[in-house]
Amino acid sequence: NIDPASLLPKLPKPEELKPFPTVSQTLFKGHEGRVRSLAIDPSGNWLASGGDDGTVRVWELHTGRQIWKAKIGDEEAVNVVRWRPVKDEVILSAAAGEEIFLIVPPPIANPEEEIRSRELLDTGFGYAKNETQNLTANGARKDPAGKWIRPGARLEDEGVLIKITVRSTVKTISWHKRGDFFSTVSPTGQRSAVAIHTLSKHLTQIPFRKLLGAPQTAQFHPSRPLFFVATQRTIRSYDLQKQELVKIIQPGARWISSFDIHSGGDNLIVGSYDRRLLWHDLDLSTRPYKTMRFHQKAIRAVKYHKGGFPLFADASDDGTLQIFHGKVVSDMMENATIVPVKVLKGHKVRSALGVMDIDWHPREPWVASAGADGTCRLWM
Amino acid sequence: MDVTMNDVNSGQGRVQVRFVTSSPDIELPEGKRQLLVPTDAGRYKLSQLLNSDYMLDTQAPIPFDFLTNGTFLRTTLDEYLVSQGLSSETAVELQYVRSLIPPLFEASFEHDDWVSAVDVLSSTSPATTWGNSTISLGQERILSGSYDGLLRVWNKSGQAIATGPPASAGGHTAAIKSAKFISPTQIASAGMDRTVRVWKYKESPDHMSAELKPILELYGHEKLIYSIAVHGPSNRILSAGGDGKIGIWSMDAASMPAAPATLLPSALSTKRRKLGTSTSTPQRGPLSLINAHAFPVSSIIFNPLDPTVAYSASEDHTVKTFDLTTSTLVDTRTTMHALKSLTALPGISSQLLAAGTMARHITLLDPRVQAKNTQVMTLRGHKNIVTSIKPDPESNYGLVSASADGTCRVWDLRSTRQGTKEEGGVVGEPVYAIERQKEKGSQVFDVCWDNDVGIVSAGEDKMVQINRGKGVTRPGEILSN
Ligand SMILES: [Mg+2]
């Protein structure tokens, strides 16, 4: 007479897995309308946000004080904000409509950093001038995949220094860790939906001639020259140097909203509009190692902690974030231990939309969330 | 007093009590220190008893608290004896101390923006006593630093008699994070514009208005400055930077190196950024800039007993001790959490440091290098980041803390309990909680506890708020929360 439950591996209790965020500590109020995206800067002191009001804002992380803002979207929402992940310069990227902006927010850069950051943004202008214009087969000038220009005096005065115009609305930005490349995804962009931008050359390239399905989001592998692109149902990884498909990951979700790669590089989490949260061990299979359905509504964002804590989180239209302990073991054959540890409630659901984006602090077990209720929150 | 010996003798159970105190002015004569006391007496009844004409015969009642073995008596004597497994045959030694008086709301002074820093100039404040100056009662001044970049000096009636110059006239170009009186005529401030600024403060003959004149702009930090400490007699200012560095500065322009050119606003070609640089104010660099911490330094203080020693607290979880004469690191204490605030307390037997954490509590550390038990006690009760801590000017055991939870809390190191398994160690709990008068729950960023003025706090509600014990108390009551 063996109790079947006794054969299951014993999961640790949440209280044994501390620390993880438990309470809302800082409220960021100011956006009019939904906050669609947020990101904590590499130093861990500033929060950037963007939303339906067309503004990008920078806030002091521990007081919730807004210290800078610029309106970059006239009619368009700011769909995404992401910091360039290098501490020597202070560069924020943001996209509204078909335009991507590169920003040096003045209040947080000292004169030295500001000069260095501006120089880095400007070097590509020289390169772009020397570049011969691409011609199509019949000799006509090809419309560039991305046009890099100065955004005009009003924005330049605010610290918004580069504008890149692509062919359709940009929904996601993802930086390569060295800070020279970033990718953008425009799900309605068809052939040019995925673009890779080179900062030092002011160059926008379309890496794939043909894509199966509409791309949703993309990310660089943290250590290898691999690039992951999610369509609605699959995630493909490509070798950028060899220009070839490496793997097709099949989470089994109907519509992928987001994914994130573990800093170790071998594990991946996926969130979907059909409420699924999936963990993939890339060593094991192209199918998920674990499928979880905890939320009442769509999952919009998933993210691993990248600063040494075995934590990940997801954000949902049910207005909650869920925090998980997810410990990756070095043994190839052993699976990660995954334990849900906390549901964070506080954001209000507005027009069926809840939490739109999340980001972890670079070194502490703190997570920030962007809400359709117009607020951001820091949970500690 | 309305307590007679009849009352005292009418109780059923009685216990032999010996009353002792460490305050000579309220000491009982030798013959009155022993008394048979009803076992149903608690703090309030004991306090009445001590005040009675038979005992201390006080003119006006003094509210007392009682300690047994270093911990406040919060129950009746009977319950205490039972909890300790003692019989009523046992003689109990009760140490009596003046109760902390509840800090009642007195006034608040309205600003145009969030208030991040406060300091007080009074007859007993360091800036007054250092220079043997005097401030007569009623002439106290309150200094505030705001997110609008302006300093303000207030009189006790709530009039801003000076407002610091705007950026265009040599003022800060961004939010102020810390401000201190150096003397009755000198002020230092620092903040988000990465500068420390020194000001000459001069009042008009009628004391109804005053001038704040910039005399020094100090450059060297690469990120914002969270905190400064000043020491008048040695002419020193210390700064805690978001760049992880600690700056050591002088107030004497002649003794300081040139300001690092690359950090001056004039390094930028942009016209807009040049605004706010006063050409007439001397710009200087640090005497020393110590690479102190891996992450932002949140708080810096002088050792009040030895101004050649400084303590810093950082988001890197550590408290460090520095020898300022050689600019060297002496000691590092690593805690479990990112730290936001720091103060030095006289302590019970030796000096202690109180560090406020991002994790909602206060850690008490013994800073002596040879100390074995480095984490002495944890103070629990705040519900958000502990932003500022200051000692009680009247007691070695008291302190006040400010928090982003919207309260200041008053603590007495003798008010302790054994922590739960999860908390561990000895845990202190707040004696009083002070709410914001204007906007309940809004963040408090700084607090100052002055003997003459009271507890002065500043916050997100754009107010400086003054709370003060008025000498009347309802016993054992926690004001709110
Ligand atoms: Mg594995």
Q: Cβ A113–B222 below 8 Å, yes or no?
A: yes
What span, in angstroms and rounded, lies between the C-alpha atoms of A46 and A90?
11
Mean pLDDT (chain B, rounded)? 90
Model pLDDT for residues B291-332, shown as the tens digit of each residue: 999 999 999 999 999 999 999 999 999 999 999 999 999 999
What span, in angstroms and rounded, lies between the C-alpha atoms of B169 and B156?
27
Instruction: Please give the backbone phi and psi of residue B441, each rounded to the nearest 5 degrees, phi first.
Output: 85, -10
Highest mean pLDDT among A124-133, A237-246, B304-313, B462-471: B304-313
What span, in angstroms and rounded, lies between the C-alpha atoms of B276 and B168?
5
Q: What is the pLDDT of residue B480?
A: 36
Model pLDDT for residues B182-209, shown as the tens digit of each residue: 999 999 999 999 999 999 999 999 999 9
Chain B residues closer than 8 Å to A45 by CB: 223, 242, 296
CB contacts under 8 A, A 30-49 vs B, are 43-45
Chain B residues closer than 8 Å to A110 by CB: 194, 222-223, 263
State yes or no: pLDDT of B472 exceeds 50. Answer: no
Q: From the CA atom positions of chain B, what is the Rg in Å?
A: 24
What predicted TM-score, i.e. pTM, was given to this entire model? 0.92
Q: Cβ B222–A23 below 8 Å, yes or no?
A: no
State yes or no: pLDDT of A17 exceeds 60. Answer: yes
Model pLDDT for residues B137-167, shown as the tens digit of each residue: 999 999 999 999 999 999 999 999 999 899 9
Overall average pLDDT of the B47-75 stretch: 88
Q: Does B167 touch chain A (CB under 8 A)?
A: no
Asked whether the beta carbons of B170 and B214 are under 8 A apart, the reply is: yes
Identify which has the larger pLDDT, B7 or B356.
Answer: B356
Does residue B345 sit in the same domain as residue B380? yes
Does residue B184 sit in the same domain as residue B225? yes
Does residue B149 sit in the same domain as residue B179? yes
Q: Cβ A110–B422 below 8 Å, yes or no?
A: no
What span, in angstroms and rounded, lies between the C-alpha atoms of B53 and A215?
87
Q: Is the ipTM of this complex over 0.85?
A: yes
B193: nearest CA in chain A?
A107
Q: Give B158-214 as a 3 state SS string.
A: CCEEEECCCHHHCCCCCCEEEEEEEECCEEEEEECCCCEEEEEEEECCCCCCEEEEE
Chain B residues closer than 8 Å to A26 by CB: 404
Query: Residues with Cβ < 8 Å from B173, sequence gap 6 or more?
Result: B149, B167, B193, B265, B275, B276
Overall average pLDDT of the A176-201 stretch: 96
B383: nearest CA in chain A?
A25
**Residue among B263, B315, B384 minimizing CB distance to A110:** B263
Chain A residues closer than 8 Å to B222 by CB: 110, 112-113
State yes or no: pLDDT of B471 exceeds 60. Answer: no
Q: What is the pLDDT of residue B275?
A: 53
Q: What is the pLDDT of residue B478?
A: 38
Does residue B137 sit in the same domain as residue B80? no
Q: What is the pLDDT of residue B271?
A: 52
Per-residue DSSP letter, B422: T
Within 10 angstroms of residue A180's Cβ, the number of other Cβ atoms is 15
Sheet holding B306-314, edge to edge: B297-303, B306-314, B318-323, B328-334
CB contacts under 8 A, B 244-273 vs A, are 262-265, 267-268, 272-273
Instruction: Please give the backbone phi and psi of residue A196, each rounded to the nearest 5 degrees, phi first.
Output: -120, 125
* Structure tokens, A133: 């214009």
A22: nearest CA in chain B?
B359
Q: What is the pLDDT of residue A109?
A: 96
Out of B43, B75, B98, pick the residue that ends a domain.
B98
Contacts 24+ apart (CB under 8 A), B317-322: B318/B293, B319/B353, B319/B355, B319/B365, B319/B367, B320/B292, B320/B293, B321/B367, B321/B369, B322/B246, B322/B290, B322/B292
Overall average pLDDT of the B211-221 stretch: 97
* Assigned domain for B177 exists: yes
* Structure tokens, B348: 């019970």
State yes or no: pLDDT of A111 exceeds 50. Answer: yes
Site of tokens 């265009």: B168
Please count the structural domains in chain B.
2
Lowest mean pLDDT, pick from B7-16, B111-120, B207-216: B7-16
Q: Does B274 touch chain A (CB under 8 A)?
A: no
Cα A236 to ligand 1 centre (Å): 19
Chain A residues closer than 8 Å to B114 by CB: 63, 65
Q: Alpha-carbon torsion B391, B334, A324, A278, what sign? A: positive
State yes or no: pLDDT of B129 exceeds 90. Answer: yes
Instruction: Please give the backbone phi and psi of residue A112, each rounded to the nearest 5 degrees, phi first.
Output: -60, -50
B220: nearest CA in chain A?
A110
Q: Does B26 touch chain A (CB under 8 A)?
A: no
Asked whether the beta carbons of A50 and A79 are under 8 A apart, the reply is: yes
Q: How confident is the model at residue A72 (pLDDT cuts 50, 70, 90)?
A: very high
Strand, coil or helix: A35: strand
In angstroms, the Cα distances linking B144 to B175, B445, B446, B463 are 12, 11, 10, 10
Q: Cβ B192–A107 below 8 Å, yes or no?
A: yes
* Assigned domain for B473 exists: no
Q: How confident is the model at residue A277 (pLDDT cuts 50, 70, 90)?
A: very high
DSSP string spanning B327-357?
TEEEEEEE-SS-EEEEEEE--SSS-EEEEEE
* Assigned domain for B475 exists: no
Q: What is the pLDDT of residue B60?
A: 83
Q: What is the pLDDT of residue B476?
A: 37
* Assigned domain for B480 exists: no
Q: Does B359 touch chain A (CB under 8 A)?
A: yes
Model pLDDT for residues A39-57, shown as the tens digit of each residue: 999 999 999 999 999 999 9
Does residue B127 sit in the same domain as residue B45? no
Chain A residues closer than 8 Å to B174 by CB: 67, 107
Model pLDDT for residues A358-368, shown as the tens digit of each residue: 999 999 999 99
CB contacts under 8 A, A 325-354 vs B, are none
Does residue B63 sit in the same domain as residue B118? no
State yes or no: pLDDT of B440 exceeds 80. Answer: yes
Q: What is the pLDDT of residue B481?
A: 31
Within 10 angstroms of residue B204's Cβ, the number of other Cβ atoms is 11
Asked whether the beta carbons of B401 and B451 are under 8 A apart, the reply is: no
Q: Does A364 touch chain B (CB under 8 A)?
A: yes
Q: Where does residue B131 rank: exposed (0-12), middle (13-18), buried (19+ CB within 10 A)?
A: middle
Does residue B189 sit in the same domain as residue B73? no
Q: Does B45 touch chain A (CB under 8 A)?
A: no
Q: What is the pLDDT of residue A139?
A: 61
Model pLDDT for residues A112-169, shown as the tens digit of each residue: 999 999 999 999 997 866 555 555 556 666 678 999 999 999 999 999 999 999 999 9
The alpha-carbon gap from B150 to the nearest alpha carbon of chain A, in Å, equals 16
Cα A280 to ligand 1 centre (Å): 9
Q: Cβ A65–B147 below 8 Å, yes or no?
A: yes
* Assigned domain for B478 exists: no
Question: Tell me, what CATH number does B92's domain have?
Answer: 3.10.20.90
Q: Cβ A25–B384 below 8 Å, yes or no?
A: yes
Chain B residues closer than 8 Å to A64 by CB: 443
Q: Cβ B192–A363 below 8 Å, yes or no?
A: no
The alpha-carbon gap from B295 to the nearest alpha carbon of chain A, in Å, equals 8
What span, in angstroms and rounded, lies between the C-alpha atoms of B354 and B397?
12
Chain B residues closer than 8 Å to A107 by CB: 174, 192
Per-residue DSSP letter, A213: S
Does residue B211 sit in the same domain as residue B229? yes
Q: Cβ B315–A115 below 8 Å, yes or no?
A: no
Out of B45, B75, B98, pick the residue that ends a domain.
B98
Chain B residues closer than 8 Å to A106 by CB: 273
The alpha-carbon gap from B264 to the nearest alpha carbon of chain A, in Å, equals 7
Buried b (16+ CB within 10 A) or exposed e, B231-254: bbeeebbbbbbbbbbbbbbbbeee
Q: Cβ A106–B404 below 8 Å, yes or no?
A: no
Report the run of H or E that residue A118 belongs to, with start and end.
helix A111-130
State yes or no: pLDDT of B477 exceeds 70. Answer: no
Find, among B304, B172, B165, the residue nearest to B225 by Cα.
B172
Site of tokens 């009628």: B206
Domain residue limits at B71: 5-98
What span, in angstroms and rounded, lies between the C-alpha atoms of A332 and A270?
20
The alpha-carbon gap from A112 to the nearest alpha carbon of chain B, in Å, equals 6
Out of B98, B125, B159, pick the residue that ends a domain.
B98
**Residue among B265, B384, B422 minimizing CB distance to A111:** B265
The bridge status of strand B375-380 relative to strand B426-428 is parallel
**Residue among B264, B338, B460 minimizing CB distance to A111:** B264
Cα A267 to ligand 1 centre (Å): 7
Percent of chain B past pLDDT 90, that is, above it, reads 74
Q: How many CB pairs under 8 A join A and B?
A: 60
Lowest mean pLDDT, pick from A150-164, B8-22, B437-451: B8-22
What span, in angstroms and rounded, lies between the C-alpha atoms of B466 and B449?
10
Does residue B50 sit in the same domain as residue B168? no
Q: Does B339 touch chain A (CB under 8 A)?
A: no
Asked whether the beta carbons of A187 and A195 are under 8 A apart, the reply is: no
Residue B307: is the preceding peptide bond cis (ω within 30°)? no
Find, among B326, B299, B296, the residue nearest to B311 by Cα.
B299
The bridge status of strand B236-241 relative to strand B245-250 is antiparallel
Percent of chain A past pLDDT 90, that is, above it, reads 84
Chain A residues closer than 8 Å to B422 by CB: 15
Question: Tell me, what CATH number does B210's domain have?
Answer: 2.130.10.10
The bridge status of strand A367-371 relative to strand A355-360 is antiparallel
State yes or no: pLDDT of B240 exceeds 60. Answer: yes
What span, in angstroms and rounded, lies between the C-alpha atoms of B464 and B140?
15
Does residue B355 sit in the same domain as residue B240? yes
**Residue among B222, B296, B445 minimizing CB distance to A110:** B222
Overall average pLDDT of the B45-62 stretch: 90
Query: Residues with Cβ < 8 Å from A75, sequence gap 6 or more?
Result: A54, A97
Instruction: Please give the backbone phi and psi of residue A101, each rounded to the nearest 5 degrees, phi first.
Output: -120, 140
State yes or no: pLDDT of A208 exceeds 50. Answer: yes
In angstroms, the Cα distances linking A81 to A39, A54, A355, B75 are 6, 12, 15, 57
Q: What is the pLDDT of residue B475?
A: 36
Chain A residues closer than 8 Å to B267 by CB: 111-112, 115
State yes or no: pLDDT of B58 exceeds 50. Answer: yes
The alpha-carbon gap from B263 to the nearest alpha carbon of chain A, in Å, equals 5
Does residue B164 sit in the same domain as residue B243? yes
Q: Cβ B268–A114 below 8 Å, yes or no?
A: yes
What span, in angstroms and rounded, lies between the C-alpha atoms of A297 and A276?
9
* Assigned domain for B477 exists: no
* Structure tokens, A250: 């099949």
Instruction: Please give the backbone phi and psi of residue A135, each rounded to the nearest 5 degrees, phi first.
Output: -115, 145
Which residue out of B274, B293, B385, B422 would a mutagenesis test of the A interface target, given it has the greatest number of A Cβ atoms within 10 Å?
B385
A25: nearest CA in chain B?
B384
Q: How confident is the model at residue B74 (pLDDT cuts 50, 70, 90)?
A: confident
State yes or no: pLDDT of A209 exceeds 80. Answer: no
Does residue B145 sit in the same domain as residue B72? no
What span, in angstroms and rounded, lies between the C-alpha atoms of A157 and B417?
57
Cα A336 to ligand 1 centre (Å): 7
What span, in angstroms and rounded, lies between the C-alpha atoms of B49 and B46?
5
What span, in angstroms and rounded, lies between the C-alpha atoms of A111 and B268?
6
Chain A residues closer than 8 Å to B445 by CB: 63
Q: Where does residue B118 rank: exposed (0-12), middle (13-18), buried (19+ CB within 10 A)?
A: buried
DSSP string spanning B261-291?
GGGSGGG---HHHHTT--SSS-EE--SEEEE
